[in-house]
A and B are shown apart, each in its own frame.
Chain A
Amino acid sequence: MIELEHINQIILPVLNWQEVLEHCKRKLEGNYLPGESRVRRAYGLLVGTQDEYTLKTERILTLKKNLRGEEPYKSYMDGIMEQHAVPSKTPLSKRGWISDPMELKECYDICDKDRLIVFGTYHMHVVPWEHDPKRDTPTRLDTILARNGTFFSFIVSMVDVTCPIIRAFYEGVKEKEVPILMEGLNHAGSSN
């Protein structure tokens, strides 16, 4: 099997893109599901199939829990954030997210059962920065946290919710961007 770092195209059906968007919008509106961490962050997994150099998204698996405030994850994230996070108005302790290993294991088990591969994670950026107004690329922190992950990091820019953007970067590295082909989108930009 060709390794993910050599992939040159990712197909994202528009219905899956809408799922990601609905997840992001719901969290931004502060609508939380039972058992979901009450944070305005949305993240999850893109899973699907591989045909040589192309990945096709088959399913979006949203992740509910954020263990950022719990040990041992808190110390781990605090250490990385102090070193690599770009300062902002939000205190470091309130920034970043880390998934629940049990929830992640359940997702991996589903994928193994259904013969799907996990090839990416997604999360959203919402606050424009002076030097990066669109926020549609990984931050240095995103890159550090994605290292050795052998996944694609999908960055969803929700800075302008009327014009969301999604881009994919292997291991969260800006120079390793792979184009996303939105499947099922007509020329007018709406789904068919």
Chain B
Amino acid sequence: MAKVIIPFPFRKHADNRREVIIDGDNLKESMELLLRQYPGLETINHDSAILSIFINNRLIRTGIEKWDTLILNNEDEIALIIPIAGG
């Protein structure tokens, strides 16, 4: 069970919550459960190439580290960030 911090732009897809407590033994499971609980958060996947995931403030190398090997503990905090961009 871990705490997921929902980024500002996506809170409307999560009942305007800042954080959600979610089950899951690893990052992959937790993300799947999060999206199952809040399907609107699927929009995060539109920009999955640049989605940044932090676990306890450590940036996960999403393209390199396998999500199912990232074991989560009860006090862990996951933060999802989509960088903002412009032309």
Mask, B1-42, CB within 8 Å of A = 1, is 000010111101000101000000000000000000000000
Are the CB atoms of B52 and A151 closer together than 8 Å?
no
Q: Could you show 12 A-B contacts with beta carbons less than 8 Å apart?
A: A4-B12, A43-B86, A96-B85, A97-B85, A97-B86, A98-B83, A101-B52, A102-B52, A139-B87, A145-B85, A148-B43, A153-B86
Since A97-B86, A108-B8 are in contact, a sample of 18 more A-B pairs with Cβ atoms closer than 8 Å, ordered by chain A residue number, is: A1-B16, A43-B84, A43-B86, A73-B85, A76-B49, A77-B85, A96-B87, A101-B81, A101-B83, A105-B52, A117-B8, A118-B9, A141-B86, A141-B87, A146-B86, A147-B46, A148-B9, A148-B47
B70 within 8 A of A: no
**Given known contacts A95-B87, A97-B86, A139-B87, A149 and B81 CB-to-CB distance under 8 angstroms:** no
Are the CB atoms of B86 and A142 closer together than 8 Å?
yes
A11 within 8 A of B: no
Chain B contact residue count (CB 8 A cutoff)? 25
Assign chain A's interface to a size class.
Answer: 35 or more
When A and B form their complex, which 4 residue pairs have the shortest distance between CB atoms, in order from nearest?
A141-B87, A101-B52, A98-B85, A118-B8
**How distant is the Cα of A3 from the Cα of B63 in the complex, in angstroms?**
33
Q: Chain B residues with Cβ under 8 A from A1's Cβ?
A: 16
A112 within 8 A of B: yes
**Given known contacts A72-B63, A111-B8, A148-B46, A99 and B52 CB-to-CB distance under 8 angstroms:** no
**How distant is the Cα of A88 from the Cα of B47 in the complex, in angstroms?**
26
Of A111, A139, A149, the residue contacting B84 (CB under 8 A) is: A149
Interface residues, chain B, with chain A CB atoms under 8 Å away: 5, 7-10, 12, 16, 18, 43, 46-47, 49-50, 52, 54, 59, 63, 79, 81-87
Of B46, B50, B79, the residue contacting A98 (CB under 8 A) is: B50
Interface residues, chain A, with chain B CB atoms under 8 Å away: 1, 3-4, 43, 45, 67, 72-73, 75-77, 81, 85, 95-102, 104-105, 108, 111-112, 117-118, 121, 123, 139, 141-142, 145-151, 153
